[in-house]
Amino acid sequence: MTAPRRNALTPEALQMMDIIARTGSFAAAAREMGRVPSALTYSVRQLEDALDVLLFDRKSRQAQLTAAGQELLDEGRRLLAEMDAVANRVRRVATGWESELTVAADGVISRLTLFELVEGFYAQRQDDGSAAPPAGPGTRLRLRSEILAGLWEALVSGQADLAIGVMMNAPPQQGIELRLLGAVDFVFAMAPHHPLANADGPLSDAQIMGHRAVAVADSAQRVAPVTVNLLPGQDVLTVPTMAGKIEALLRCLGCGFVPEPMVREHLRTGRLVAHAVQRARLPAQFGYAWRGAATPQPRKAPQGLALQWWLNQLESPTTRRALLERHVGLPVPLE
């Protein structure tokens, strides 16, 4: 588009098109805009000349749009809405809200609870002191799903601002704040018709070794991936998500350790069975981590109100427990 055409598409011109189409006539539009009809007609002709198109059918007694006029009206309304949205986001950022916040979560985290937190975030209404009515935060949220070391990598590399579900044995990193989320019991599970399901006593590594394991792939791309609970030389079916692992177990494609809250209902109904193992095991400790104020964040504003809101929610023991346990609609309310 040449400069004259681009310069003609001002917010005022787009708003003029919207008012004419909405009121149905040049005279009515002129009254609403506080202009004389001849001046409004002149402005429309200037716009038509700049775009080299006919926007209104001059044969009609009403303000009848041509096909080109209808296209300009539709796109103009979209552009005006986007301009308003940008202005609102800029105003919100000026009051301390980040323009964008990325929250990454491990596969053990309850998606139900996570999306309830997202709902709570968007439900906020903040008065920024302007004449505009209170609006929600102007921060754009991004959610990422990561597995094991991939979650830590996303945070350290700056691809995420907050990581929920990191393993507490993650290496210390300057500028990264880490807090305990909670502990999760893992059970060794399999389908009821799996060869190990009816074995006597706790299973030894030698017994487990002879059967295919189902594992979730670490999503790390640059750091060394983490391998958990796999025996050297054991046959492994690797899947991309924890949900995929549970589905593979249900189909008797293998066996493996899974978070007890995620398979609790399957264990209750008998679709899966849990078997004791000889190997000593403790509940897995998970945490949440974020990039602190001392962390270099190129092209990003300092820590703002959006991250503070999420951290405030994570201070609630009920919320932390729900993130680890509320996978099948269990009654773990958010505070």
- Whether residue 293 sits in one domain with residue 178: yes
pTM of the model: 0.69
Last residue of a domain, one of 44, 68, 94: 94
Q: Does a structural domain hold residue 331?
A: no
- Whether residue 163 sits in one domain with residue 298: yes
Domains identified in the chain, total number: 3
State the Cα–Cα distance between residues 319 and 206, nearest whole angstrom. Answer: 40
- Whether residue 80 sits in one domain with residue 39: yes
**Range of the structural domain that residue 117 is part of:** 100-183+285-325
Provide the token pair at 331. Answer: 């009654």
Q: Does a structural domain hold residue 196?
A: yes
Dihedral, CA of residue 66, residue 70, residue 73 and residue 77, to nearest 10: 170
pLDDT digits (tens, 9 = 90+) for 210-258: 999 999 999 988 777 788 888 999 999 999 999 999 999 999 999 999 9
Average pLDDT, stretch 259-275?
A: 95
Q: Does a structural domain hold residue 333?
A: no
Domain with residue 258: its CATH number is 3.40.190.290
pLDDT score of 132 more than 80: no
Give which of 155, 166, 159, 161 is closest to 139, Cα–Cα. Answer: 161
- Whether residue 292 sits in one domain with residue 162: yes
pLDDT digits (tens, 9 = 90+) for 13-59: 989 988 998 888 888 999 999 999 899 889 999 998 888 899 888 77
- Whether residue 138 sits in one domain with residue 154: yes
- Whether residue 289 sits in one domain with residue 179: yes
Give the pLDDT of residue 295. 46
